[in-house]
Amino acid sequence: MTAVAASTSQRARAERFTQLDAMRFFFALVVVLVHTIGFKLTLVHGAYAVDFFFVLSGFVLSHALISRPTSAQGFAWARIARLYPLHLVTLAWMVVLVGGPRPEGPAEYSPAALALNLGLLQGLAILQVQTWNFPSWSISVEFLVNVLILYPVVAMRSIVAAAAIVLASVLAILQSWGPVFDQFNLQEVHGTVLSGGLLRGTAGIVLGYLLYEAYLFARPRLDPRRYEIPATCMEILAIGLIAYGLWVDDDRGWNMLPAPLSALLVWQMATVPGRLSAILRTKPFSALGNMSYSIYLLHVPLYLSFLGAGLLPMPDTGLRPVWFGYFTLLMLLAAASFRYVERPLQQRLMRLFGT
């Protein structure tokens, strides 16, 4: 092994992308705003936040697989241990709120929908509707793509195969839906069980792997201290343009920016972090990043609980003072969930598998 390769390998094992985890919190907050206050009053194209999650997932998991290789079975179990416990808890909450599966009711609360959710298959285009705790469609997509596509691609370290998969997925998205694809999630793709969200997940997650390979190449060759000011400007500009692309709704191309800019931001903040990244690496933002998965999965059942109690209106009807109580409770529940549900259950399941 050459000196550069050895240095790169050691740095990869030691690197912790805390600043990217902190960014996950802000994108989770975007999703919460869209689903609770509403599209018209917040971010019209806030659903693009999911594409940031996909890219970051591919990047971080590629880092884990390359720096600490594991078997396919071990990787699949690790993903189940990470994703499934909280998914099951929030799914049970939704079942209680709805009053159980409804064979004669809407498809989103049917026994078939519940079975798909229990099997982490709700991200496929089998029912073509968002079911139960509906943001979990992306959790299903992430699990399927991680296990069936990302793992073999990373195991082969095939940049060509990865690039071909990303290109094919993007072309399929554009042909099936168009360049503004934030609402392309559970619709079927040309009469198959493949969904638009599965295409988005494949494109984003495998792109995350390509970005990690680019990180491994560039990191030892770039001095972050030398590029700190340009990197800081890049962070501010990219975040500003992403926010604007999420906010506006026009036909001038702004709505096509969030997904590619999110990918660029992931690579830049990992490879040549600026001062904004340094702030995001501090303990308060690290704690918020830890809470992001719980925020993402808890916000809908909590909102429906408030809605059922008559405390909150439906989205797009106005911002009321009680929203602040909702958000405060959501943050408290997310912090408790990470500490008492996510982390301990993940550790127990990992010990059960013997890892």
Task: Judge contact between 206 and 62, C-beta under 8 A.
Answer: no
Asked if residue 42 lies in contact with residue 246, where contact means CB atoms within 8 angstroms, the answer is no
Task: Determine the Cα–Cα distance for residues 184 and 176; give it in Å rounded to an integer.
Answer: 9
Tell me which H or E stretch contains 204.
helix 196-218
Mean pLDDT, range 325-335, rounded to an integer: 94
Take residue 78 and report the two structure tokens written for it.
Answer: 């690790």
Which is higher by pLDDT, 45 or 266? 266
CA distance 197 to 212: 22
The predicted pLDDT at position 2 comes to 45
The separation between CA 6 and the C-alpha centre of its own chain, rounded to angstroms, equals 31
The model's pLDDT over 131-171, given as tens digits with 9 standing for 90+, comes to 899 999 999 999 999 999 999 999 999 999 999 999 999 99
Distance, CA of 45 to CA of 30 (rounded, Å): 10
Measured distance CA(321)–CA(323) in Å, rounded: 5
pLDDT band at 23 (very low <50, low <70, confident <90, very high): very high
Considering only CA atoms, which of 20, 2, 18 is closest in space to residue 265?
Answer: 20
Given this model, what pLDDT does residue 129 score? 86
More confident residue, 26 or 16: 26
Cα(54)–Cα(334) distance, integer angstroms: 21
Of 280, 234, 238, residue with least CA distance to 260:
238
**Per-residue confidence (pLDDT) for residue 39, from 0 to 100:** 62
Give the mean pLDDT of the chain. 88
- What is the spatial distance between Cα 240 and Cα 200, in angstroms, rounded to a whole number? 23
Model pLDDT, residue 318: 66
Q: What pLDDT, on the 0 to 100 scale, is given for residue 10?
A: 46
pLDDT of residue 171: 94
- The residue to which tokens 């604007």 are assigned: 244
pLDDT for res 12:
46
Q: What is the pLDDT of residues 260-317, one digit of tens each?
A: 999 999 999 999 999 999 999 999 999 999 999 999 999 999 999 988 888 877 776 6
Any idea how long the chain is? 355
Amino acid at residue number 62: S
In tens, the pLDDT along 74-106 reads: 999 999 999 999 999 999 999 999 888 878 778
For 182-223, the pLDDT digits (tens) are 889 988 888 788 899 999 999 999 999 999 999 999 988 888
